[in-house]
Each structure stands twice: as structure tokens, then as C-alpha cells.
Amino acid sequence: MATVSWDAKGVILGDILPQANLTQQWLQRYGWEILPHPAHSPDLAPSDFHLFGPLKRHDLGGMAFETEDDLISELRNWFDNLDVDFFRVGINSLLSRWQKCIDLHGDYVEK
């Protein structure tokens, strides 16, 4: 299994699980660079630095849900109402975020 992201210039690969032999062979065949990415690194994970901040501001903590389906419905509504550029901006921000981490030799990266 692999986590794959891309930008206008091509594929940016995040994380490959060791059991994903077929994916690893495919990456080697095309000569794509595999970027190391710790499994739990909040300073690099796109969902942590781009998605959860706005989701926290949505204030789900102040809401009560009777069922899991109610929660899912609220989340779907929130996602549906995001600006059309929300995810594009998040993906495009990764390059500079990763570069900051590289420049700081893996130390914590502030937004």
C-alpha cells in the first residue's frame, strides 16, 4: 500500500508500507524517488497541518450527535462546502513544508 500525492510537475510519494512489493517494483521500474516520511509526523502529514486546523475551527466539539450517521452527515456537509481550492492549496503547500523540514534536519516545523 502506498500514499501517493502529486503536483503539476509529477508524482510526490509519501509512504510505502513494506509489504507493498508490487508498488515498490513499479516505483523502481520508473525510477521515481521515494521520499522518507515517518508514519506519525504531524509536522509533515497533510491532514494534520491542512485539514485538522480548519476542521477544529468548525467546532465539532460543540455539537452533539445521536448516531454515527449524524456525525458522518455533518462531516460530509462540511467537506461539500469547502472552497473549491481547499485541497489544491493543501497539496501545493506540501513542497515548501517538506523543504522547511529538510532545511531544519527533521526538527519541528512551525506553520
Whether the pLDDT of residue 111 is over 60: the answer is no
Residue 109's pLDDT is what? 64
Residue 95's pLDDT is what? 82
pTM of the predicted model as reported, rounded to 2 decimal places: 0.46
Residue 46's pLDDT is what? 54
Give the CATH superfamily of 39-111.
Answer: Ribonuclease H-like superfamily/Ribonuclease H (3.30.420.10)
Q: Which ranges in the chain are annotated with CATH 3.30.420.10?
A: 39-111
- Using one digit for the tens of pLDDT, what is the confidence trace for 51-98? 877 887 887 777 888 888 998 899 899 889 999 899 888 888 888 877
Residue 73's pLDDT is what? 92
Retrieve residue 55's grid coordinates.
476542521
Residue 39's pLDDT is what? 61
- Using one digit for the tens of pLDDT, what is the confidence trace for 8-62? 566 655 555 555 677 778 888 888 887 776 665 555 565 566 787 788 788 777 7
Count of other CB atoms within 10 angstroms of residue 50 = 19
Q: State how far Cα 100 lies from the chain centre.
A: 16
Q: What span, in angstroms and rounded, lies between the C-alpha atoms of 40 and 91?
A: 18
